[in-house]
Chain A
């Protein structure tokens, strides 16, 4: 549920970002970099977990289908 929430947040922000004007980034206090990581954090965590367990997941499905 939190994953979906974050995804919706990301899409909303993406839409907001499309309409930002050039600021030439002189005044950047680092807030943008900080918050982007928070927003994308769940995504990174999910993919990393998937990658770690990929072999196990693959082996599980292979077993299931090859057995047949």
Chain B
């Protein structure tokens, strides 16, 4: 519980569970207060060399200690630190499999390093990890405590529920099961994971120990308090390393089964002539060079071809797509190229992430994390208007909320992609024409340019939001 009484500045609505400190905003900057009760652990984090080691390996965000606290001091303050800003906060239910896997491996690597320096993580929650410059990184500097040999890992349960359970479900059952993390904010209950897993999954020792036995043990001891006085209980440091090692190896080798989704081969199968595709790229590149955005959202980004153009133009780009395998392809590609300015994420635009948690304020909804300088909606509008039956006016007013400039591609009914969508539907879209499109969008945007994509029937619009 925080003992803070402040005149004008209160902690972030999502930062209240940790007795060691909390986050708050002051003059549009983010700060973290370290409470007095965390003094020893924080000092040891620095003096043991763990902090430097973690920073060197880019596993923990750096921070500055605020020497003369410009932000007002709260009661119970030991220190105030100013951590670096994460450009876009994302959540595990928005990550593809490989991102969740990398976040898990990052956590385990940090725990191993911590042990080397006689410290240990007191929590292992997905929400302590964010993606920064293309890599997972720990954002909770106060998660470390001095290691007491003999005591088991405090964060073991959380690690299994947040990371291990969801990864095993994605790999052994269905990749879409990561969405369970939206319902269970403290990780998927292990008894539920167990019920969903096929029996063959239990053949793996890791799954057998850390899911099956773990779930059964939880259930068996659920009404029995822990008798810590029994000093016969011991968990050696060696055993700890063994545990981390086993989890690391298992997760490292975990892969999704090879399945082709409808979007993965998209670029190979569209009716774009090569010429049209390249022409579209030149147009988008030109628009981005003129606008010079700092932040871009690429909606329906698929494998991120156009997100790359935004990144090349100097923008931090969040690359959204509904297909987790396309997002994964994008992410793996970014890793290969060491791309620091693109964050691929899974998102259903017709049902974007909503605000979750206590008072619905612990996790932000999508709109709260915007707006951005430029939103790109390429080869997207027909999916929203035709497949999802969304009126063009509603699409326009939504897009206005998220950006200052919009690059949007109008895909007419004559296009083969739309023909495919209409083949199993009645054509109930009389307003879905170029005139109808412009009429809807002119309410919210000023149309600046609308060149035809040569080699196709599509038109690329560049618009500016009206205010």
Contact = CB atoms under 8 A, between A and B. Distances in A.
Interface of A: 13-14, 16-18, 20-25, 27-38, 40-49, 51
A43 B243 CA distance: 9
Contact of A24 (B189, B209, B233, B235): B189
A37 B153 contact: yes
Q: Main SS of the interface on chain A? A: helix
Q: Main SS of the interface on chain B? A: helix
Contacts of B226: 29-31, 34-35
What 7 A-B pairs come out closest when comparing CB atoms?
A44-B242, A48-B242, A17-B216, A37-B152, A32-B218, A33-B157, A32-B217
Contacts of B219: 17, 20-23, 25, 32
Interface residues of B, number: 35
Contacts of A20: 216, 219-220
A30 to B, nearest CB: 6
Given A34-B152, A34-B226, A48-B245, A25 B235 contact: no
A13 B246 contact: no
B401 to A, nearest CB: 38
Contacts of B222: 23, 25, 27-29, 31-32
A35 to B, nearest CB: 6
A35 B190 CA distance: 16
B454 interface: no
B360 interface: no
A35 B209 contact: no
Interface in B217-251: 217-226, 233-236, 238-243, 245-246
Nearest to A22: B191
Nearest to B217: A32
Contacts of B157: 28, 30, 33
A47 B246 contact: yes
B139 to A, nearest CB: 24
Given A20-B220, A22-B191, A29-B222, A36 B234 contact: no
Contacts of B152: 33-34, 37-38, 41
B213 A36 contact: yes
Interface string B188-222: 01110000000000000000010001111111111
A49 B226 CA distance: 29
Nearest to A31: B221
A25 B246 CA distance: 25
Nearest to A46: B242
B127 interface: no
Contacts of B279: none
Contact of A33 (B217, B233, B236): B217
Contacts of B287: none
Contact of B238 (A16, A21, A37, A45): A45
